Amino acid sequence: MLLGSDLSLLYVAAGVILLYIIVQVYKDRHLRSIPAVGYTIPILNWVTCIQYIFQARELIREGYEKHQSTGVFRIAAHDGWLIIVANPQLVEDVRRAPDDTLNFTEAVMRSVQLKYTIGNDIADRTYHVDVVRNALTRNLNTRFDDIRDEIQVAFDEEIGAGDNWKELPAIETIQRIVSRVSNRLFVGMPLCRNRAWVQLNIDYTTDVAIGAMVLNIVPTLFKPLVSWSLTKLKAQRQLANKLVGPIIAQRLHDLEEHGEKWSDRPNDLITWLVEACPPELREVPLITNRLLVVEFGAIHTSSMTFSNVIYNLVSNEEWIRMLREEVEHVVAIEGWSKIALAKMHRVDSFILETQRVHTIGMLNLQRWTMKPFTFSNGIRVPAGYQIISAAEMLQIDPAHHGGRATEFNPWRWSDMRAKDAGSLKHQMVATNSTLLHFGHGRHACPGRFFAAYELKGMLAHLLLEYDVRFKEGERRPSNMEFGPTIVPPQVQLEFKKRRDS
Ligand code: HEM
């Protein structure tokens, strides 16, 4: 039997719950015009939050298919309502919206839990974005030979196969190659080959990503503790400072001493960051952190994309033959050059098709509403919500990509290019409202020109120099998924050096 004090405790608890529900319903009243998938009633919608962690695709697909007429729907996620855009015209609304209304940085700050992972100093001034967009992309031609050299050496050392088949874990091997090749451009020799530096950049990216996922579901009060106990980010930053700090300090010194007349400046990301850095931020740990944030944007995305590319490649021998034929033909005429990579239309198409069908994120184009935002169809989203696009669904929708949109057709884009000569819109660096693998608009990935260069260079090199296959009797296993994040599975691959290469 309940005693009087137990009974009053029960009343208090029921009162608190009721109050919580009333406050939430009142808060969400402006969202009523946006249809929801899953539960909308506060507390009950925690069921949907959990479902979103383990079955995000089912929820997103349901919303996408049911709410095409509205073009937008919402799902209760662990960090609040997600307003998901399902229609290309509304994606264009998001693309066109100014930063003071739909803000990319604010959305990233929240989803990556910047304060507890990378650090808020990154978001205050985003000069690294311009550096990647301008100096880094501009220098791809002049640094071509270095990147090509690193691709050769990294494949030799990380794969190191001879005449016999050699078994290697795909993801780890690819991560190390990508980290080395990217770092040849970012920090140059010899640091790009330093084992500790290469591994640090892989681990840092993983730790930020995992840390952010967990921190997103932890109450604010416990976030510092969770960040400290769950991730090794602080130690990783210290190691980064130890490894790259002296180089940055020297560059700062050289810039101070020579200014504009610094003629023999190394042509790499460290120099470009040091030069672009506002004077008040010219401190070694801050620039190290800035470098790490570019590594974070570059290494994981490129490694996961390349893993998907290889898994598709080894699934079909005819595809390997056709790609090899193109690479051999182009290299015989052009040699290894940026122009040669530009002429590899099948290689480009294969990677783009992989990104379309085997994307690494179900949702993309995240923005935070700084002010109320009204879509062109009249749907209104109040300030303080996350708007994001149903990238994967848009990319495999027959309405936008033809009857066989869900199928992987490696020559989809090279065939279109052949019919539509000169058009840039079928290349992997192109973005549009139904191809969101690099985002779209003002914040579309500024590193995509380098990514294309690197991925195409690595794929072409692999095709000419190696035979690669799954282990006997194995096929591509399913991807791993956590919320909307998709991670290609760990697989053992077998490599053999080609005799006639
Ligand atoms: C296959 C590889 C890559 C993929 C799939 C990818 C994807 C993306 C996506 C989806 C965005 C957000 C765009 C938006 O919401 O409109 C983005 C932003 C960004 N990416 Fe990439 N990325 C890749 C490689 C790289 C590389 C190699 C770098 C650096 C060299 C880089 C640097 C950045 C930066 C700095 C931003 C932020 C842009 C801004 O603040 O405006 N990414 N990337």
Q: How confident is the model at residue 80 (pLDDT cuts 50, 70, 90)?
A: confident
pLDDT for the residue numbered 231: 80
> Strand 380-381 to strand 373-374: parallel, antiparallel, or no bridges (unpaired)?
antiparallel
Structure tokens at 269: 């990301």
pLDDT for the residue numbered 3: 64
Q: Which residue has the higher pLDDT, 89 or 221?
A: 89
CB of residue 437 inside a 6 A radius of ligand 1: yes
CB of residue 440 inside a 6 A radius of ligand 1: yes
- Would you tell me how many other CB atoms lie within 10 Å of the CB of residue 398? 10
Mean pLDDT of 455-471: 96
Distance from C-alpha of 236 to C-alpha of 231, rounded to nearest angstrom: 9
pLDDT for the residue numbered 1: 55
Mean pLDDT of 209-230: 84
Q: By alpha-carbon position, which residue is closest to atom 13 of ligand 1?
A: 439
Q: What is the distance in A from the centroid of ligand 1 to the CA of 463?
A: 26
Q: By alpha-carbon position, which residue is closest to atom 20 of ligand 1?
A: 445
CA–CA–CA angle 231, 237, 240 (5° rounding): 135
Mutate to test the pocket of ligand 1, among 438, 443, 449 (most ligand atoms within 8 A of CB): 438
Nearest atom (ligand 1) to Cα of 443:
41
pLDDT for the residue numbered 381: 96
Q: By alpha-carbon position, which residue is closest to atom 32 of ligand 1?
A: 447
pLDDT for the residue numbered 409: 97
Nearest atom (ligand 1) to Cα of 306:
1
CB of residue 450 inside a 6 A radius of ligand 1: yes
pLDDT for the residue numbered 366: 97
pLDDT value at 213 more than 90:
no
Mean pLDDT of 228-256: 93
Q: By alpha-carbon position, which residue is closest to atom 9 of ligand 1?
A: 438
Distance from C-alpha of 478 to C-alpha of 18, rounded to nearest angstrom: 43
Write out pLDDT tens, residues 276-289.
999 999 999 999 99
Q: By alpha-carbon position, which residue is closest to atom 41 of ligand 1?
A: 443
Write out pLDDT tens, residues 122-152.
888 899 999 999 999 999 999 999 999 999 9
CB of residue 297 inside a 6 A radius of ligand 1: yes
Instruction: Name the percent of the chain lying above pLDDT 90.
Output: 75
Write out pLDDT tens, residues 41-70.
888 889 999 999 999 999 999 999 999 999
pLDDT for the residue numbered 144: 95
Instruction: Name the percent of the chain lying above pLDDT 70.
Output: 99
Are 454 and 314 in contact, with CB atoms under 8 Å apart?
no
Nearest atom (ligand 1) to Cα of 126:
40
Q: By alpha-carbon position, which residue is closest to atom 22 of ligand 1?
A: 445
pLDDT for the residue numbered 25: 83
Q: What is the distance in A from the centroid of ligand 1 to the CA of 420?
A: 27
CB of residue 439 inside a 6 A radius of ligand 1: yes
- Would you tell me how many other CB atoms lie within 10 Å of the CB of residue 208? 24
Rounded to the nearest integer, the mean pLDDT of the chain is 93
Cα–Cα nearest to 91, from 413, 367, 429: 367
pLDDT value at 501 more than 70:
no
Are 223 and 116 in contact, with CB atoms under 8 Å apart?
yes
Write out pLDDT tens, residues 162-180.
889 999 999 999 999 999 9
Nearest atom (ligand 1) to Cα of 365:
15
CB of residue 306 inside a 6 A radius of ligand 1: no
Mutate to test the pocket of ligand 1, among 445, 455, 485 (most ligand atoms within 8 A of CB): 445
Residue with tokens 């990514």: 451
pLDDT for the residue numbered 60: 98
Are 147 and 453 in contact, with CB atoms under 8 Å apart?
yes
CB of residue 444 inside a 6 A radius of ligand 1: yes
